[in-house]
Chain A
Amino acid sequence: MKTTAAIIIVLALLLGFNSLYTVGEGQSALVLQFGKILRTDKQPGLHVKVPLLQQALTLDDRILSFDGQPERYATSDKQSVNVDFYVKWRIANPADYYRATGGDELQAGQRLSPIISNALRGIVDTRSLQQLIAGNPGDLTAGTVQQSNEQAQKTLGISVVDVRITGIEFPDDIKAAVYKRMQTERQQQAAAIRADGKQEAEAIKADADRQAQVIRANAESDADKAKGEGDAQAAQIYAQAYAQDPDFFAFYRSLDAYKKAFGDGKGTIILKPDSEFLRYFGNPAPAPARH
């Protein structure tokens, strides 16, 4: 008897527990009856269901993430790029979501991926690489979000919260060419910088040469001027002195000149016996009166 009572109590307890389920904060629950969706519970807390017949399935109601594989797209200017992105999504309609994916997130991601890819392709197609790289990221993906959201809501019960591009890269086969170009650009830049340095060094040298040349030329001109002044002053002094008696000056200066021209002892002077100098040489008579 007692054993039977105990068994009944335990069974009642088990059934009681089976008739309760909790929905956590950030979760929603589906109540299924033989695999058929009866209702959706979004309110967190303790809920009641029919034991054994009904099943409760909790789904995550938070924002979930889908990290897309980088995909190769062509921009409007025919450049190939790999676009890496992530998608933030959440279950908008648990019933639709369950029907479409069986509640499996992996499957949801697989279904979501082409929708996002297509929407993204539409965005990339119509933009040049420049616009894609430098464009406002919010504006860029807003269209993707809107477009993919509509489709995902309809077919998957998923709302797309956000799509963001985390990286735009050239595919490997193009990357090599880009590196080559970058290298060439830098080599040119380096050569230009060195040439500029050379040019500037030459300019500095030329400037110094010019300055030195100007200084020397000015100095020579100043020196010539000073010398000229000396010559002029000397000439003035001479003229002043000699003008007192030009005739005597001529005589005096001539004597000076003779002394300089003939007084070095080189050469031979031929004298006529009747020269003035030899007047008394063989004849001590007084000179005849001249004048």
Chain B
Amino acid sequence: MAWNEPGNGQRDPWNKNKRSAGGKSGLEATLKDLSKRFGKLGGPGGLFTIVGVFILAWLLMTSYTVIGPGQVGVVQRFGAYARTVGPGFHLKLPLPVETVQPVATSRVRAMSDQIRMLTRDEDIVAVDFNVQYQVTDPQKYLFNARDPDGTLNEAAQAAVSAVIGAQQMDDILTSQGDGNAPAPALTALQQQVRDQLQHTLDAYDCGLRVTDVSFQAITPPQEVKDAFDDVNAARQDRQGMIDQAHANTSQEVPLANGDAKRLAAEADAYKSERVARAQGDAERFNLILKEYKAAPDVTRRRLWLETMEDILHASNKVIDGSDGRSVINITNDHADSQPATNLPGVGTVAQPANALGDDADKGKQP
């Protein structure tokens, strides 16, 4: 920072005095030396010699100037502006006729500051800003305003405060972008400050040109920082909730699609089965019908008998010769083939043939 900080050596108003003071002390030493050496001569002759040497040395030492690189020297003759010289060694008239003030012109100067101000919506915001500038006219820089660098600082504060004051708090905060690349809105604000600052400096005619204005940081005041941070956290939370919802529901539609496919497959299977069975049944019916047509009575009877056979083969059977007024006890443990113990004369009923015989006997007894 120090390399381009204002107030560095070159513009020190004491500089030239220091230089001449240095010269004087050098001269004083010389003078003492001389008076020692020529003291023994005595009288006014000696004094004149001393004065003569003094003047000669003075002329030699104050008749040139050396201007450093990146500087110019503004030469004044009896205070009036005489000329401007570039870097290097230059001859000039001795002091006090001509004096030289060096001004660093090619150096980029910079200033940084932080100010607090009100925004248009009456919030308070703190802005860190940095201004870079150059001396374009050393003559104006030296002679038109006292402390042009301080003036620039003040004018910059006024410009920043005016530009930021015209904004809404939220617009300013969001204009900063994500911190990597400055957003266009921020760039526009910086440009506004730059223009306004340059305009002010031009009015003061102090030979300065603003090369860059940048906002380092725009922050809410420390007192309310937590609340502002919470707004940012809320934005994160919001996005989090949305992302979470997407994650939670990402399976739902594919699952439904899967269900739909399964339902469709099941329905297809049902349909195929129904049709196939119908075809099978129809085929069977057709075959039997063919037989039936060939021998209707026999087939009819055969079918009937086969059916009855099947039915009665599997079931308990009772032949009831009564007129229907008496009730017959029936063993009904056919399924597990347990012997019926409480009925005399009845063995196992597991075999339908036996059961039929037994039942038939029983049926006939009453």
Q: Which residues of A contact B (CB under 8 A)?
A: 2-3, 5-6, 22-27, 43-46, 60, 62-65, 67, 86, 88, 129-130, 133-134, 136-137, 161-162, 164-170, 175, 178-179, 182-183, 186-187, 189-191, 193-194, 196-198, 200-202, 204-205, 207-209, 211-213, 215-216, 218-220, 222-227, 229-231, 233-235, 237-238, 240-242, 244-245, 248-249, 251-252, 255, 258-259, 262-273, 277-278, 281
Closest to A218 in B: B260
Q: What's the least CB distance linking B155 to chain A, in Å?
A: 7
Q: What's the least CB distance linking B278 to chain A, in Å?
A: 4
Complex interface residues of chain B between 312 and 329 (CB less than 8 A to chain A): 312, 314-321, 328
Point out the residue from A62, A191, A240 that lies within 8 Å of B146, measured CB to CB. A62
Given contacts A133-B119, A200-B238, contact A186 B227 (CB under 8 A): yes
Report the bound CA distance from A62 to B206 in whole Å: 10
Report the bound CA distance from A137 to B164 in whole Å: 12
B315 touching A269, Cβ below 8 Å: yes
Q: In the complex, given contacts A44-B79, A234-B278, A242-B285, what are 4 additional A-B residue pairs having Cβ atoms less than 8 angstroms apart?
A: A25-B80, A65-B146, A179-B221, A268-B317
B166 at the binding interface (Cβ < 8 Å): yes
Q: What's the least CB distance linking B80 to chain A, in Å?
A: 4
A211 touching B256, Cβ below 8 Å: yes
Q: What's the least CB distance linking B35 to chain A, in Å?
A: 15
B304 touching A255, Cβ below 8 Å: yes
B252 touching A259, Cβ below 8 Å: no
Report the bound CA distance from A265 to B349 in whole Å: 13
Q: What's the least CB distance linking B190 to chain A, in Å?
A: 17
Report the bound CA distance from A178 to B157 in whole Å: 22
B242 touching A200, Cβ below 8 Å: yes
A137 touching B158, Cβ below 8 Å: yes
B178 at the binding interface (Cβ < 8 Å): no
Q: Which residues of B contact A (CB under 8 A)?
A: 43-44, 47, 76-81, 96, 115-120, 122-124, 139, 142-147, 150-151, 154-155, 157-159, 161-162, 165-166, 196, 200, 203-204, 206, 220-221, 223-224, 227-228, 230-231, 233-235, 237-242, 244-246, 248-249, 252-253, 255-257, 259-261, 263-264, 266-268, 270-275, 277-279, 281-283, 285-286, 288-289, 292-293, 296, 300, 303-304, 307-308, 310-312, 314-321, 328, 330, 332, 334-335
Chain A residues whose CB sits within 8 angstroms of the CB of B223 once the complex forms? 179
Point out the residue from B78, B200, B220, B234 that lies within 8 Å of A22, measured CB to CB. B78
A259 touching B311, Cβ below 8 Å: yes
A133 touching B122, Cβ below 8 Å: yes
B227 touching A219, Cβ below 8 Å: no
A255 touching B230, Cβ below 8 Å: no
Point out the residue from A5, A63, A272 that lies within 8 Å of B206, measured CB to CB. A63
